Chains A and B, each alone.
Chain A
Amino acid sequence: MATRRTIPFHWSFLTVAALIPLIELAFPGNHHVGDLLRPIFIMAMLGLGLNILTGFTGLLNLGVAAFMAVGAYSYAILTCDIYPFRLGFWPATLVTVLVGLTVGLFLGLPTIRLRGDYLAIVTLGFGEIVEDLLKNLDSITKGTQGINPLPSPSVFGYQFRPETYQPWYYLFLGFLAVLVLLNRNVLRSRIGRAWISIREDELASSCAGINPMKMKLLAFALGAAQCSLAGALWASYLGSSGEPGNYDFQVSIIALCMVIVGGMGSIGGVLLGALVIMGFNSIVLETLTNYLKAHQLISSSNAFTAPGNWKYMLYGLALILMMRFRPEGLLPSRQVKAELHPLEPHAPPPSPSP
């Protein structure tokens, strides 16, 4: 075991991310990186919400897109001026988080005794139900059109504009940093310990005095609240609630991919997973497509040659390869554990008992 003190990945990620727009400003040119990172931050928040449920507590949730949809639609209904509420950015975000918390509890309460595959199926069904509801509650959600346009947020007196990306970038990065900090604090307290003990061995955990129901409900509420916050920011970014199809099963699977590729239960891992999966989607595939098009290697008439159409295959392949060669993820949580006590002298190998 290494004894040197290392900077946790999530802090270096956030620091580098904070510098990117400044670097782009310092070297004028046609840059995209900062612009492309914004959706990655939002997906990372979704991943952090799922990580509480699946990574820390071991509850496999295949319906986080539904929590995100709840967040996006709540935010849209509360801010859009075709409805009477017309709240500002902060009150709307706060109410959205509370709505997400409540929805998490509503899903958590009846499913509290389910485990493993059964819970996965229920959450999968929940995701489908929410999508169908959003499609069919026409007068509330405007059906498949989605709710738009949403006013650009105004934060501390500053009016956001769609053309300049930097304020948005720092707004989302700020939210992500706060979530990382909260998640880390909770993980390194008795709550995180109890969650992990439930994931490891629920029976032993309850025999040690942990109330698994309470802790699972807490995980559900917090995870759902974070996912719906991601949804609210997503809606403010799009200027629209998006249409119900934007929150389908594929989004849940992408979130799960991020958590698995990054490393279950590791906060830095989720950030890395979001960067790898979403970055692959919006940077690598995009660049590749543009390059191939520019050199006339693919034609738009043949759908099979477009790299973007292969992405779910590639995600599947990535998952299989991860499970085969590195099931603990790129940045496993054991590292996080070792970071807990970086300065403690490490014990010599256990000596045989006398």
Chain B
Amino acid sequence: MNLLEISDLIVRFGGLTAVNSVSLDIPSKHIVSIIGPNGAGKTTLFNAITGIYEPTSGRIYFGGGEVCRPFRWTTALTLALIGIIAALSLVLIVNVESLWDTAITANYAYQQTFLWSKAAGAVFRYFGEEPGRRVIIPFLIGALVGLAGAYAIWERSRRAPEVAARAGIARTFQNIRLFNQMIVLDNVLLGMDSRLRTRFWHAALRLPLYWRERQESEQSAMEILRFAGLDREAHQLAENLSYGHQRRLEIARALAMQPRLLLLDEPAAGMNPAEAQDLMKLIHNIRDRGITVLLIEHHMPVVMGISDRIAVLDHGEKIAEGTPHEVRNDSKVIEAYLGKDD
């Protein structure tokens, strides 16, 4: 069964086609590598999968469905609510001073009792005098602006990275992006965030749920750090870790999200052969936990050593796909890497 299915994906930036109708199936619980020369569109493909770039065309199916925020009835309700609030606010803003005069100033004598019913009657009369200019037009404009604005923001956030993350796609970055001013443990805890149930009031008042969840989450974060071999560094600032450990921490943070698919963007970059060996072991262990791994890598020993399948990109197009053995002997691949022999 395929966990990720990419069909005819095109990503264009202006005149540049970074990914040109790539189709790729990632079978569940496999390690699949994407290789290719620099500028072949590998990272762009990752960014399209994780919602950072919007595909120009093509479909990405993950676990049987598209990765995007569904339009539910709560969405419709929220949009409608924002529209109505914006409309009422505009009605209020347009009339605020005369409304205050008719309702409050006219009906209140210093330190006398104030009759709210009388004020409400005055408000109704005020709106009744010129309903078009005072209510209907500002209401319609406000509703239109509020609805359109809210819908535009919602539409643009449909494929946001957090949507992909919450669907179960975790990733690391080519240039490490850790939260440097946070300690290692907090970096991992952040990856767990979408599974935590603590809300603002639990945290502010330190209700029992906060304490329980804090203990549980720190425990499982420590387990993940142990798995990644970083448990001794748990309380150091992330920026103080060595390069290899920072790469591992990024993977640990991604694992904390309990993803079904893990995207690793050049995890072995800058590592020495021994560190790369360790990393291969780690990636194997991740796969054995039932997580599908999609990998971009230039380090050929790593790629050939761990991949179940390899896809080769060149100039945004997929030129070959198959087992490591097949890819190694593919004439197009040799041509892309070594040049054409005339």
Task: Mark A residues whose CB is within 8 Å of B.
Answer: 81-84, 106, 109-110, 112-113, 137-140, 182, 185-186, 188-194, 196-197, 200-201, 203-213, 218, 333-334, 337, 340-341, 344, 346-348, 350, 352-354
Closest B residue, CB atoms, query A110 = B149
Partner of B210 from A189, A203, A207 at Cβ < 8 Å: A189
Given A84-B104, A350-B245: A189 and B180 interface contact (C-beta under 8 Å): no
- CB pair B274–A353 under 8 Å, yes or no, is yes
| Max chain B Cβ within 10 angstroms of own Cβ: one of A81, A140, A204, A211 | A204
Closest B residue, CB atoms, query A348 = B232
Given A81-B110, A197-B182, A350-B241: A139 and B105 interface contact (C-beta under 8 Å): yes
Smallest CB–CB gap between A66 and chain B, Å? 16
Residues of B within 8 A of A113 (CB): 153, 156
Given A139-B101, A182-B204: A354 and B274 interface contact (C-beta under 8 Å): yes
Bitwise interface map of B from 73 to 109 toward A, beta carbon under 8 Å scored 1, else 0: 0000000001000000100000011001100110110
- CB pair B257–A186 under 8 Å, yes or no, is no
- CB pair B179–A201 under 8 Å, yes or no, is yes
Smallest CB–CB gap between B157 and chain A, Å? 7
Quick check: is B5 within 8 A (CB to CB) of the other chain? no
- CB pair B105–A204 under 8 Å, yes or no, is no
- CB pair B161–A347 under 8 Å, yes or no, is no
| Max chain A Cβ within 10 angstroms of own Cβ: one of B82, B149, B164, B203 | B203
Quick check: is B165 within 8 A (CB to CB) of the other chain? yes
Partner of A83 from B104, B196, B203, B235 at Cβ < 8 Å: B104
Smallest CB–CB gap between A88 and chain B, Å? 16
- CB pair B196–A190 under 8 Å, yes or no, is yes
Residues of B within 8 A of A206 (CB): 160-162, 165
Smallest CB–CB gap between A332 and chain B, Å? 10
Closest A residue, CB atoms, query B206 = A185
- CB pair B257–A209 under 8 Å, yes or no, is yes
- CB pair A137–B96 under 8 Å, yes or no, is yes
- CB pair A353–B275 under 8 Å, yes or no, is yes
- Which of B13-21, B57-65, B186-194 lies at the interface with chain A? B186-194
Residues of A within 8 A of B114 (CB): 84
Sorting the interface of chain B by its residue count into under 10, 10 to 19, 20 to 34 or 35 or more gives 35 or more
Closest A residue, CB atoms, query B103 = A84
Bitwise interface map of B from 165 to 191 toward A, beta carbon under 8 Å scored 1, else 0: 110001101000111111101100111
Partner of A84 from B108, B183, B191, B235 at Cβ < 8 Å: B108
Task: Mark B residues whose CB is within 8 Å of A.
Answer: 50, 52, 82, 89, 96-97, 100-101, 104-105, 107-108, 110-111, 114, 149, 153, 156-157, 160-162, 164-166, 170-171, 173, 177-183, 185-186, 189-191, 193-194, 196, 198, 200, 202-206, 210, 214, 232-237, 241-242, 244-245, 253-254, 257, 274-275, 278
Residues of B within 8 A of A348 (CB): 232
- CB pair B191–A347 under 8 Å, yes or no, is no
A352 to B275, CA, bound (A): 10
Residues of B within 8 A of A352 (CB): 242
A352 to B241, CA, bound (A): 11
A139 to B108, CA, bound (A): 13
13 contacts between A and B (CB under 8 A): A138-B97, A139-B101, A189-B198, A190-B198, A190-B203, A204-B177, A205-B179, A208-B191, A208-B253, A209-B165, A209-B193, A212-B162, A353-B274
- CB pair B241–A337 under 8 Å, yes or no, is no
Partner of A208 from B104, B160, B190, B278 at Cβ < 8 Å: B190
A210 to B165, CA, bound (A): 8
Closest A residue, CB atoms, query B218 = A341
Given A193-B186, A350-B241, A353-B275: A341 and B200 interface contact (C-beta under 8 Å): no
Given A197-B190, A209-B191: A347 and B232 interface contact (C-beta under 8 Å): yes
8 new A-B pairs (CB below 8 Å) besides A209-B257, A340-B183?
A83-B108, A84-B104, A113-B156, A189-B210, A197-B179, A204-B178, A206-B162, A353-B278
Residues of B within 8 A of A84 (CB): 104, 107-108, 114
Residues of A within 8 A of B173 (CB): 204
- CB pair B181–A189 under 8 Å, yes or no, is no
Partner of B244 from A186, A201, A353 at Cβ < 8 Å: A353
Residues of B within 8 A of A210 (CB): 162, 190, 193-194
Partner of A209 from B108, B166, B198, B203 at Cβ < 8 Å: B166
Closest A residue, CB atoms, query B112 = A84
Partner of A347 from B82, B234, B274 at Cβ < 8 Å: B234
Smallest CB–CB gap between A195 and chain B, Å? 11
